[in-house]
Amino acid sequence: MFDSIRKKIGTFLFGVLAVLSLILFLKFKEHSDFKKVVTALQADSRAAEVLVTESSLDEATGSFTTTIKFLEYDYKGQPLTPRYFTFRGNMIQFQALVVRFEDGYIERGHRMKGKSAYLFLKAFVLDGKNTQEFVITPTQGVPEGYKVEGVPSKMQKEIWAHFWSYVLNPKARKGVGVKNAQIEAPGSVFVPGTLYDIRIEHDGGLRIDAKPIPAVLRGETIQ
């Protein structure tokens, strides 16, 4: 009888340990998945490249029509599917949400908060009532460039829902190391023959760098 009770106790304890092990594994997996998503949000140096693919001038009005190729890079530095936007005008701006973390995190090179984070929201040309805009990333969703392979989509949606609440609600982000979150809209006059780099500064915001297209590529159509 004593052996029977001992076996039952042993079986019970084994079951408890199994359950605890499963809980710890799930918690670790959840934490690991969370870190993957947060790491994906960290800004890299290059955020996107822009190239004018077509430009025409209306002699009567003196206004340009400009088509740009917008190529965004994901968190691994790989290019996403390019997008093409056509505007009446060539003074084009990119609206982006930039999240800065507290200076201490930047100085220490914190693994998750050592760089500013960004999300492109829109490309637009201001022209009063004729303002034109194209949505790049809808709010409340999971941005295309930050989807993480191997992490359940449901969890990514939940994490991003928290992210949006932190960013859009000052009270919600208080105490999580966010220095500030603001909308920035860097812009430039976009002309043919120039390659535009949109870059993120790790302790600051977005900037646009322009440089001539290499001579060897001029006049070539490259697929």
* Average pLDDT along the chain, 223 residues, taken 10 residues at a time: 48 44 49 58 67 91 92 83 94 88 57 66 92 86 73 75 71 69 90 91 79 75 54
SS3 annotation, the chain: CHHHHHHHHHHHHHHHHHHHHHHHHHHHHHHHHHHHHHHHHECCCEEEEEEEEEEEEECCCCEEEEEEEEEEECCCCCECCCEEEEEECCEEEEEEEEEEECHHHHHHCCCCCCCCEEEEEEEEECCHHHCEEEECCCCCCCCHHHCCCCCCHHHHHHHHHHHHHHHHCHHHHCCCCEEEEEEECCEEECCCCEEEEEEECCCCCEEEEEEECCHHHCCCCCC
CB neighbours of residue 66 within 10 Å: 24
pLDDT at position 175 is: 64
Question: What's phi and psi for 82, nearest 5 deg?
Answer: -65, 150
Return the pLDDT at 65: 94
pTM of the complete model: 0.69
Partners of 91 in the β-ladder: 189
**Could you tell me if 181 and 174 are in contact, meaning their C-beta atoms sit under 8 angstroms apart?**
no
Rounded to whole angstroms, the Cα distance separating 34 from 63 reads 48
Q: Can you name the residues that pair with 208 across neighbouring β-strands?
A: 198
